[in-house]
């Protein structure tokens, strides 16, 4: 009976979570954040490309079609981070497939980084006249500074998930960012971990990232010369 009650109680909270998630993210009348959509879709694209490379003709066409469709979605979101991540993943995939073209990949990456730097500088200069200052460099630096203050004041517990937008205006007023601009997070994943979970959560997140990096290196070494090497790359 207790086990049945625990299952019912767990299912209840799962339904509550799904309802809130759908209302806030899917059926939200204010729309959704393009960066979140791009961040969720972008990791699937290289997997489709590299996995389809070794498949039969029909599977390859299906996977390439999915990758092209998802690439179009990412392009429409105009998420700079997702586009840069895709470029880096494809560059490393090409380097893994053809090591001799490594210098070409390096040159292309440097050129793309230079073009992005020029475009981003012009965008930040133009956006400095907008009311939404979170897109400017000064606005981002102010948010990061507030995140560091929060990590210093709440090192053990953090402030909790989803409370950044409520805590910052009350305890850490902003001067550069517009008070009407939405502030869902600190615009930095590592600082956000320290804000939400405290220093302990931040250290744990670093450990997870380091572990995943080590596992990726191990997988790359094991799959070298096998049909799955592109998928691993």
Query: Does the pLDDT value for residue 149 go beyond 90?
Result: yes
d(CA 61, CA 51): 11
- How many percent of the chain have pLDDT more than 70? 63
What is the distance between the alpha carbons of residues 90 and 79, in angstroms, rounded to a whole number? 17
Range in 9-18, 82-91, 112-121 the model is least confident about: 9-18
- The predicted-structure confidence for 94-119, as pLDDT tens digits, reads as follows 776 666 665 666 677 767 666 666 55
Query: pLDDT tens-digit profile of 36-49?
Result: 677 778 878 887 88
Average pLDDT over residues 130-157: 79
Tokens of 87: 């470029």
User: What does the pLDDT read at residue 150?
Assistant: 92
Q: Are 101 and 94 contacting, i.e. CB atoms less than 8 angstroms apart?
A: yes
Measured in residues, the chain has a length of: 233
Exposure string (b/e) for 68-77, b if CB count within 10 Å is 16 or more? eebbebbeeb
Q: Give first-to-last CA distance, the chain, whole Å.
A: 49
202 token code pair:
């931040």
Separation between Cα atoms, residue 189 and residue 205, nearest integer Å: 10
Q: Are 224 and 212 in contact (CB under 8 A)?
A: no
Say if CB 165 and CB 182 are below 8 A apart: yes
Whether residue 198 contacts residue 151, with contact meaning beta carbons closer than 8 Å, is answered with yes
Distance CA 123, CA 204 (A): 35
- Tell whether the model's pLDDT for residue 134 goes beyond 60: no
Query: Over the stretch 191-227, which tens digit does the pLDDT of each residue have?
Result: 888 998 899 889 988 988 888 788 878 877 777 766 5
* pTM given for the model: 0.56
- Sign of the alpha-carbon dihedral angle for 200, 205, 210, 214: positive
Task: Inform me whether the pLDDT recorded for 10 exceeds 60.
Answer: no
DSSP state of 225: T
């Amino acid at each position: 009976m207790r086990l049945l009650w625990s299952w019912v109680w767990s299912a209840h909270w799962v339904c509550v979570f799904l309802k809130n998630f759908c209302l806030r993210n899917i059926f939200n009348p204010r729309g959704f954040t393009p960066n979140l959509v791009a961040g969720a879709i972008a990791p699937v694209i290289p997997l489709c490309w590299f996995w389809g490379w070794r498949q039969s003709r029909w599977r390859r066409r299906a996977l390439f079609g999915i990758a092209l469709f998802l690439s179009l979605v990412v392009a429409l979101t105009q998420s700079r981070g997702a586009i840069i991540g895709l470029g880096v993943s494809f560059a490393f995939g090409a380097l893994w497939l053809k090591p001799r073209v490594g210098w070409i990949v390096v040159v292309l990456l440097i050129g793309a980084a230079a073009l992005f730097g020029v475009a981003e500088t012009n965008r930040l200069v133009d956006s400095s006249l907008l009311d939404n200052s979170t897109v400017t460099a000064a606005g981002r630096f102010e948010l990061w500074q507030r995140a560091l203050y929060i990590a210093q004041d709440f090192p053990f517990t953090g402030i909790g998930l989803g409370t950044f937008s409520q805590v910052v205006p009350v305890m850490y007023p902003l001067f550069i960012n517009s008070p009407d601009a939405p502030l869902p997070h600190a615009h930095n994943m590592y600082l956000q971990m320290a804000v939400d979970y405290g220093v302990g959560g931040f250290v744990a997140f670093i450990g997870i990232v380091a572990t995943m990096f080590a596992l990726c290196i191990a997988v790359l070494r094991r799959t070298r010369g096998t049909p799955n090497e592109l998928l691993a790359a």
